[in-house]
Amino acid sequence: MLNADADADADADAAAHDRFDVPKTQRKRSKEEVILLMLCALSIPSILPFGVYRLMQHNWLSAALDLTLVAGMLCVMLFVRRSGRVKFASVVVTIFYSVGMLATVYIKGVSLVYWVYPTMIAAFFMLRPIVALVINGVSLIVLIIVLAQQMIPILNLLTIVVTIMLINLFSYIFSHRTGIQHKELNREAERDFLTGVGNRRALARNLATYAKSNGTHIESSLLLLDLDHFKTVNDRFGHAAGDAVLVHLCELIRSRTRTSDQIFRYGGEEFIVIAKGASLRSASGLAEDLRALVASTEMLEGCLITISIGVASMLEDEAPSAWLQRADRMLYLAKQSGRNAVRVAVDAAAPC
């Protein structure tokens, strides 16, 4: 294994910086946050006219209830926009909606029971299906008690209960299936279609977990691999053969890495292995093992395939982008030294 000091070769620094594209971190509203804000925004013009009308009719109790709901929605919108705490706000809004709905039915009677349906459906848009089902189930029990006190005909009561139960059942099934499909689509969107390993989107999401470690240093190492002279392989044997080499390379990487190690396709013939919990010494040994394995394996008849690898251990308080750049710089040095080599970023904090 070949080692290099972190401050060697300033030209390599410049080359690594020029070719390394690091996405800027900026807060982007999640779809859950957008849905919650939209539901609150739509609720305000839906409820406010009733509150104003009842206020003009001197129906103080109902008007106060409607205006309280409107004020609550405004407060939730401001809270979510400033804090981004969608999960907590979603539970609060659902409970707030449910209490308001029950109070409305209690005050105005069974004539306003139709507000139950949109209220319970909205819960499945904001919460996980099982949580929405539990809250709606409690609300239904309270609603039955309220309606029973109003002495409505038993057949009418049963009709209301059955339709509400069906609404919740259908909403739960739809929400649950949509969640499963969403997870499957996310998995496919983060998978390289050729090799089956993670793509750059998956890499970015994984690295974000290191950026959000709240100051807790997680000992991890990163290997940046590149197939040597891969363009020659494509030109000489064709792209189909080149694709087969890429697939074979990923199989070799999987055979030498742990199940906890993560593999990503970073570029056309570049791959990244993140070994979480691995020291620089362990990662260096893995890199040399992979280099030797590839060099000794006949991946393509009549052509010697080799790889160059840059290795870096994540330093304490280091940004993921800087971590990647140090590994990229080591890869550049490995290629500059003649390829089929390993270069390791060595520093005082992480001796090899």
Q: How far is it, in rounded angstroms, from Cα 193 to Cα 197?
A: 8
β-pairing, 262-265 with 4-5?
A: unpaired
Half-sphere exposure of 287 (CA within 13 A, CB side): 39
To which residue do tokens 């070994």 refer? 275
Residues constituting the chain: 352
Q: What share of the chain is helix, strand, coil (3-state, %, to 5)?
A: 65, 10, 25
Judging by DSSP bridges, how do beta strands 262-265 and 270-276 pair with one another? antiparallel
**What token pair was written down for 19?**
């070719």
Phi and psi for 267 in degrees, rounded to 5? Answer: -145, -160
From 251, 233, 250, select the one nearest 242 (Cα to Cα): 233
What does the alpha-carbon distance between residue 101 and residue 191 come to, in Å, rounded to a whole number? 44
User: Measured in whole angstroms, how far is the alpha carbon of residue 239 from the centre of its chain?
Assistant: 33
Please state, in angstroms and rounded to a whole number, the distance separating the CA atoms of residues 105 and 239.
Answer: 68
**Rg of the chain over CA atoms, in angstroms?**
30
**Sign, CA torsion 149/154/159/162:** positive
Q: Copy the structure tokens of residue 121.
A: 């459906």
- Coil, strand or helix: which one is 128? coil
Tokens of 108: 């105005």
Which residues form the catalytic set?
A: 269
Q: Scanning the structure block, which residue is given the tokens 């849905």?
A: 35
Residue 96 CA to residue 73 CA, distance in Å, equals: 9
